Amino acid sequence: MKISKQIKKRITMLYCALLVFILMWIVYEGAKTFIGNGSKVQQTDGFFSQNIGTFTLGSSFKSPFDIPVRTNKDSSLVVKAKIRDIVANVAFKSGVNYRDKTYGTIYNLANILRLLSLIALLAVVIVMITKVVRGSKTGDVFPRKNILYTRIIGLLILLYALLNTLNRAMDVLSVSHLFEKTAYHVSASLSFTFDTFIIVILVFIFAEIFAIGNSITEENKMTI
């Protein structure tokens, strides 16, 4: 089976588009990772201030619908809201660590591993883009190494998603003690989104398509 130049061109364009979107996603996620909740801000008397994030309140916090949103002049329509999420800020002196020691250590470790997985993912994507561009010039749009690289990308995306989930949970747990003996109870959970798994499955499907294309290319070479 011979692959026409037009099909090769379309495959190259689609694969480059996939890699570019993955690259854009890496840059976006990397920016969020590096920026985080913002840097600490110097205040007076040796204090610092830092935003520690947005928290979803636990089910134990029964907030009534008592926050006015809208009311008609004749009071025929009244809309009120309740507190579900809060944005917290912490003030602390220099040298003071406001995070729980155990959860804070896991949080920092997960953050480092998450950054390393992003760097590895970025490196693999750059190598693949280079090989795809070179392959489009030589007509080899199914280089064998890219099959392995595509599978590695799928595994790295899955690893990053797992580390990101762990990081978020540890982030909440490491500061949950700050809300003890208050009316607010923040909740932490390991949550996974379907879109991440869909992306990973699609990447693996693309790897299998690459493997089939590579086999067809090898057969064509043998035939010639």
Instruction: Give the tens place of pLDDT for each residue, 77-135.
Output: 999 999 888 888 888 887 788 889 999 899 889 888 988 888 888 888 888 878 777 76
At 1 the pLDDT is 47
CB burial of residue 145 (10 Å; 0-12, 13-18, 19+): exposed
Task: For residues 41 and 32, give the distance between their C-alpha atoms in angstroms, rounded to a whole number.
Answer: 18
Instruction: Give the tens place of pLDDT for each residue, 35-86.
Output: 655 566 777 677 888 888 888 887 767 788 889 999 998 889 999 999 888 8
What does DSSP assign to residue 81? Answer: E
Residues 6+ apart with CB under 8 A from 47: 91, 92, 93
Domain borders along the chain are 5-39+97-223
Instruction: Give 127's Cβ-side CA count (13 Å radius).
Output: 15
At 136 the pLDDT is 65
Task: For residues 31 and 204, give the distance between their C-alpha atoms in angstroms, rounded to a whole number.
Answer: 26
Instruction: Give the tens place of pLDDT for each residue, 123-174.
Output: 888 888 787 777 666 666 667 777 888 889 889 988 988 888 888 889 888 9
Cα-to-chain-centroid distance, residue 131: 26
